[in-house]
Chain A
């Protein structure tokens, strides 16, 4: 039995860069490579693609990522674990087999299914966010339970080179190989808590290697154009050292690790996953050398008896229009443009959003920064119940070209269908995961 395993994280979201994973597979001396590519809303969008074509509904970058990685994974005997199955892990596994055949590689792929619980939730069930019925939010599109390690472990027990899941909790993608290799007991809550901490530190890839950290002159990071993604050397006792491939850009130190440890944590004493309720207040971090941070501590208690379910619904159509003003009285002209549009649309669209980009658009204030910006971009956004109606926001902004105020330029307009997400819970007994194995 192994005393140490090395797990890399090659992607931290569906749109992440491709080459850091290739570098990890090539030079990282990994045992496992994880690609975390499934945000909350991504799966509802994937579900819609699957409804249009039953062979689709997996991650749209799956082909490109697998094609670029597969020969190296095979050569270096690195097992891949990824949630790129999205709404259709079976179709994803078949696509990977097809790619392997093209490349003349002999591989096995395991598809993990069971997260789709759309037929087991009830429209009158309450949403955790609104405390109202799920159906009150809008037309329901998808419902996926966050599965945990118990869904992934049977796949690891096969000879699969590649394990493709749909919705599972992000840290579980990392905890599963630890439990598998070290034979940790599912009742050893502290070890599961420690492993969850390590998974949480890795799951956003470049966010722990200096990527989302850099602030020139204050938090300088070298080589960001070739940012390396992280790996962890995990020991049987649940401690780990986080690092990255030598020669890649980026930075791993106490500061980058602390920022990532607290990222998206709403209660550091109780971080809920399907595997454990982890405690982050007992974690210790230590710099051991250049780009080396040691993680010890972390603990946990008995996991919850329910799975969290992410429910996608059709929310509305978002229409947007933007226009720029520059030079003397740019803000004055932008404000006049805003009031013209408000007056024209207020009766039909009371919930109009107007932003002054370059001034107050993202913080809703500019605190004590009082200097007027040289240029300002006006953004108008609104909700509508059809695509056609949502085009009005962009059209009204575009009409400012000739109708004024003076010198507005650079109009852009967009309409997007918006999928909303609410959450609910489902009893674990109602969910059964399974593993299907394919060979090239």
Chain B
């Protein structure tokens, strides 16, 4: 069954210059391993192709059962000089949560 990440996880976006950070936190800690398996940096890069122009690094944080994606060249040149409406990319956490993954059988 296909589900949206929104159904099982939450996220907050952060900004540093032209770099976007996106956390991915499952509501149930037991879903952490599934997220590790399904939400690869490659799939996230494809999902965010209109947003993230650079490479995406994924950090695994088993200590808090969460993932962190660090996306370079993702804020249209940077927070302070972008012409975008959402210069910080604060709304982009919900772009990640639109991604679909296989869940259960």
Interface residues in chain A, defined as those with a beta carbon under 8 Å from any beta carbon in chain B: 40-41, 129, 207, 212-213, 215, 218-219, 255, 258-269, 280-285, 297, 315-316, 318, 351, 353, 355, 357, 361-365, 367-368, 379, 381-383, 418-421, 423
Bound CA span A239–B23, Å: 23
In the complex, whether B12 has a CB less than 8 A from a CB of chain A is yes
14 A-B contact pairs sorted by A residue (CB < 8 Å): A212-B12, A258-B66, A263-B23, A264-B14, A268-B61, A281-B63, A351-B83, A353-B83, A363-B51, A364-B50, A379-B85, A382-B83, A420-B78, A423-B17
In the complex, the answer to whether B83 meets A381 with C-beta atoms within 8 Å is yes
Contact B14 A258 (CB under 8 A): no
Number of CB contacts from chain A to chain B under 8 A: 115
Are A418 and B12 CB-contacts (below 8 A) given A255-B27, A363-B50? Answer: no
Is B80 a contact of A40 with CB atoms below 8 Å?
A: yes
Given A262-B12, A262-B21, A363-B50, is A297 in contact with B63 using a C-beta cutoff of 8 Å?
Answer: yes
Specify which of A219, A266, A281, A367 is in contact with B98 (CB 8 Å cutoff): A367
Q: List chain A residues, Cβ under 8 A from B45.
A: none
Residues of B within 8 A of A364 (CB): 50-51
How far apart are the CA atoms of A267 and B25 in the complex, in Å? 17
B86 and A362 contact, CB distance less than 8 A: yes
User: Once the chains bind, are B78 and A129 in contact (CB under 8 Å)?
Assistant: yes
Given contacts A263-B23, A364-B50, contact A283 B64 (CB under 8 A): yes
Add 9 more A-B contacts to A41-B80, A129-B18, A423-B17 (CB < 8 A).
Answer: A129-B17, A255-B25, A255-B27, A262-B21, A264-B14, A266-B70, A269-B59, A281-B63, A362-B91
Is B35's CB within 8 Å of the partner chain A? Answer: no
Q: Which residues of A contact B86 (CB under 8 A)?
A: 361-362
Checking A259, A265, A357, A381 against B25 with a beta-carbon cut-off of 8 angstroms, the contacting residue is A259
A423 surroundings in chain B (CB, below 8 A): 17
* Residue of chain B at shortest CB distance from A297: B63
The secondary-structure label for the interface of chain B is mixed
Q: How far is the CA of A61 from the CA of B18 in the complex (A)?
A: 29
Tell me if A255 and B81 are in contact (CB < 8 A): no
Are B10 and A268 neighbours in the complex by a CB distance under 8 Å?
Answer: no
The verdict on B101 contacting chain A, using a C-beta distance below 8 Å, is no
**In the assembly, what is the distance between CA of A395 and CA of B78, in Å?**
27
For residue A314, give the distance in angstroms from its CB to the closest CB of chain B. 11
Distance of A334 Cα from B13 Cα, bound (Å): 30
A268-B68 CB under 8 A given contacts A129-B17, A281-B63:
yes
- Contact assessment for A421 and B95 in the assembled complex, using a CB-CB cutoff below 8 Å: no
Residue B42, interface by CB 8 Å: no
Contact of A362 with B84 in the complex, beta carbons under 8 Å: yes
Interface-centre pick from A207, A262, A268 (highest chain B CB count, 10 A): A262
On whether the beta carbons of A284 and B81 are closer than 8 Å, the reply is: no
**Which residues does B use to contact A, with CB under 8 Å?**
6, 10-12, 14-19, 21, 23, 25, 27, 50-51, 59, 61, 63-64, 66, 68, 70, 78-81, 83-86, 91-92, 94-95, 98
A285, B18: Cβ atoms closer than 8 Å: no
Complex interface: chain A residues within 8 A of B6 (CB): 218
Complex Cα spacing A207 to B12, Å: 10
Chain B residue nearest in CB terms to A138: B81
Q: Which residue of A262, A353, A367, A381 contacts B66 across the interface (Cβ within 8 Å)?
A: A262
Least CB distance, A259 to chain B, in whole angstroms: 4
Once the chains are docked, how many angstroms separate the CA of A41 from the CA of B88?
A: 12
Q: Tell me, in angstroms, the Cα distance from A315 to B77 when the chains sit together.
A: 12
The CA-CA distance from A260 to B23 in the complex, in Å, is 9
What is the CB-to-nearest-CB distance from A419 to chain B, in angstroms, rounded to a whole number? 7
Q: How far is the CA of A365 from the CA of B23 in the complex (A)?
A: 20
The reply to whether B19 and A266 contact each other, CB–CB distance below 8 Å, is: yes
Interchain CB contact under 8 A, B85 and A261: no
What 3 pairs between A and B have smallest CB-CB spacing? A264-B14, A262-B23, A353-B83
Task: Give A375 Cβ to nearest chain B Cβ, in Å.
Answer: 16
Q: Is the CB of A419 within 8 A of B80?
A: yes
A213–B21 alpha-carbon span in the complex (Å):
16
* A90 to B35 alpha-carbon distance, docked (Å): 51
Q: In the complex the two chains form, is A318's CB within 8 Å of B83's CB? A: yes
Taking the closest CB of chain A, its distance from the CB of B39, in whole angstroms, is 15
Known A266-B70, A282-B63: A418·B81 in contact at CB below 8 Å: yes
Is there contact, CB below 8 Å, between A361 and B63? no
Interface centre among B14, B27, B64 (most CB of A within 10 A): B64
Q: Are A265 and B63 in contact (CB under 8 A)?
A: no
- B68, A262: Cβ atoms under 8 Å? yes
Which residues of the partner chain B approach A381 to less than 8 Å between Cβ atoms? Answer: 83, 85
Chain B residue at minimal CB-CB distance from A280: B61
Q: How far is the CA of A283 from the CA of B61 in the complex (A)?
A: 9
Q: Chain B residues near A357: list those with CB within 8 A.
A: 85
A263: which B residues are within 8 A, CB to CB?
12, 14, 21, 23
